[in-house]
Amino acid sequence: MKKLITLTLITVAVTSSAHAQWIVYDPASNIQGILNTAQEIAKFVEVINNQVQQIQTLTDQLNEFKHYEDLFGDPKRIVVSTITPLVTDLRRTELGESLGELIQAADGVAALTYNAQGLYNTIGESFVTPKGKTVARDADAFRPFAAINATTANYQTVSTNTAARRAKLKGEIAATLEQLRTASSDAEVQKLSATLTGLSAALASTEHETGEALANSLVQDIENRNDERKQAQAIKEQQSAAFSEALGNYGKTFRLLDAPTTFPK
């Protein structure tokens, strides 16, 4: 036991004397350092693995999007040839005039010279009496007839225009249906279906424009007929009052004799 203690003291003394010349080796500290480094490397590897996984996820999502685009198509790349004519038609100003505009522009002189391209006889702005006197007609009295002529002409203009547009729109609908029949993606089908809906709405709009122009003409004709009956009623009342007044005047002027007639003896 004493020998062991002595040997230990000698060893400590030698170690202490050599401390200035040699680095002390601590196995536990070095092992801990190695472990810490290994843990840091493991964490770094885990971060790298997470990043790789995220990149793989994004790649899968991108591939999925590309697959979706292959299946359903890209709407931006689909060009429908009938869209531009449809937009042009929808932005077009309606050709027909309103009933108020037609009435305001009605000119009695135009009614007096109107013959519907030779269909009717022209009345003329004046006439000659049997004695050869030229009498000018009252143009304002013929304005209601001018309004009818104007609404009829408006209907003819709108009808001609809408007939041409209907033929064009039907051709565009047929072309769109053909494109729809050969569509290769869902996006193309959706875009063509929307265009087809717009073309159908534009076609229906032409019918409404024609109907409105016809309604203007019918309404004005009804208005003229109503005024004609109104004028006739007014004249009838005036004639009745004049007749009653004439009878009163006649009774005052020519009295009937109610006394018995006597003859000379």
**DSSP per residue, 219-254:** HHHHHHHHHHHHHHHHHHHHHHHHHHHHHHHHHHHS
10's tokens:
């000698």
- Tens digit of each residue's pLDDT (9 = 90 or more) over 42-99: 777 777 777 777 777 777 676 665 655 555 556 666 677 788 888 888 788 877 888 8
* Residue 202 burial (10 A CB sphere; 0-12, 13-18, 19+): buried
Tokens of 31: 């092992």
59 falls within a domain: no
Secondary structure letter of residue 69 according to DSSP: H
103, part of any domain: yes
Q: Which residues lie closer than 8 Å to 145 by C-beta, 6 or more apart?
A: 108, 111, 114, 224
| Bridge partners, residue 187, by sequence | none
More confident residue, 147 or 183: 147
Question: Does residue 27 sit within a domain?
Answer: no
Does 253 map to a domain?
A: no
Structural domain span for residue 108:
80-241
> What are the residue ranges of helices labelled H in the chain?
2-17, 27-72, 83-90, 99-104, 108-113, 143-181, 186-253
Is residue 216 included in any domain, yes or no?
A: yes
Taking only the tens place, the pLDDT of each residue in 159-208 is 999 999 999 999 999 999 998 888 877 788 888 888 999 999 999 989 88
- Give pLDDT tens digits for 225-250: 988 888 888 888 888 888 887 777 76
Distance between CA 184 and CA 180 in Å, rounded? 9
pLDDT above 50 for 16:
no
| DSSP letter assigned to residue 135 | E
- Number of independent structural domains in the chain: 1
Q: What pLDDT does residue 1 have?
A: 46
User: Is residue 176 situated within a structural domain?
Assistant: yes
Distance separating alpha carbons of residues 166 and 209, to the nearest angstrom: 12
- Whether the pTM exceeds 0.85: the reply is no
Does 250 reside within a domain?
Answer: no
